[in-house]
């Protein structure tokens, strides 16, 4: 009987390809949303949450709030304005803004008004109600609460690298501005520094 065999080098090639194919399989591990996991050293969800929560705790503990409540006898209404990403890397600013909004609302010390994008959508809905909703359930125009203060900010980075070692420095600056007279009633700053060691091996 004729027996077919692969030459040794071909057999080795086939085995190698099979091993590589197995090594390329995708592995997925579910993680707790609050678990800290730094992979690249870049800005991540943990940085966004920590910075926003610390900043909001600071802004709500300062004297501007007590002064406002003594003068107006009510909670101040805040709105988050533009937070500009001036860093060297892509940062999802929308996630950071959402983290700040959540921290503000959960604090329960201020009222929080909708953003300009959200207001446009709500106003469109009110116009539709004027035509289609019953008188008892219709919501009238001109009843919105205006914001008293706007929270604005920037995210900056400085990168210092030597060989496979890199230091990433992030600085977040936030400012709370009185919408009546443009006075800055609070300025907050948060810094994050990361030491990143990259492997010299390349595959």
Residues 9-23: what's their mean pLDDT?
A: 60
Does residue 131 have a pLDDT over 70?
Answer: yes
Tokens 């919408």 identify what position? 179
What are the pLDDT digits (tens) for 146-172?
Answer: 999 999 999 999 888 888 888 889 999
- Residues 114, 136: Cα–Cα separation, whole Å: 24
Given this model, what pLDDT does residue 115 score?
Answer: 84
What are the pLDDT digits (tens) for 27-59?
Answer: 656 555 455 555 567 788 888 888 988 998 999
Residues 97-122: what's their mean pLDDT?
A: 88
Q: pLDDT band at residue 8, thresholds of 50, 70 and 90? A: low
What are the pLDDT digits (tens) for 68-104?
Answer: 999 999 999 999 999 999 988 888 888 888 888 888 8
pTM for this prediction: 0.73
Q: Which two tokens stand for residue 174?
A: 């936030």
């Amino acid at each position: 009987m004729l027996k077919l065999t692969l030459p040794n080098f071909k057999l080795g090639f086939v085995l190698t390809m099979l091993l590589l194919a197995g090594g390329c399989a995708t592995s997925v591990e579910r993680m707790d949303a609050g678990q800290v996991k730094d992979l690249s050293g870049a800005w991540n969800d943990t940085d966004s949450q920590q910075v926003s929560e610390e900043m909001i705790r600071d802004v709500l503990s300062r004297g501007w709030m007590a002064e406002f409540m003594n003068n107006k006898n009510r909670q101040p209404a805040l709105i988050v304005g533009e937070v500009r990403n001036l860093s060297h890397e892509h940062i999802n600013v929308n996630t950071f803004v959402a983290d700040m909004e959540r921290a503000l609302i959960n604090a329960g010390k201020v009222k929080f008004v909708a953003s300009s994008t959200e207001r446009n959508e709500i106003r469109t809905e009110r116009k539709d109600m004027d035509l289609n909703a019953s008188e008892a359930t219709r919501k009238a125009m001109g009843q919105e609460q205006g914001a008293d203060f706007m929270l604005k900010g920037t995210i900056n980075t400085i990168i210092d690298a030597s060989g496979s070692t890199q230091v990433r420095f992030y600085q977040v600056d936030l400012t709370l501005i009185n919408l009546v007279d443009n006075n800055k009633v609070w300025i907050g700053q948060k810094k994050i520094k990361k030491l990143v060691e990259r492997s010299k091996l390349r595959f």
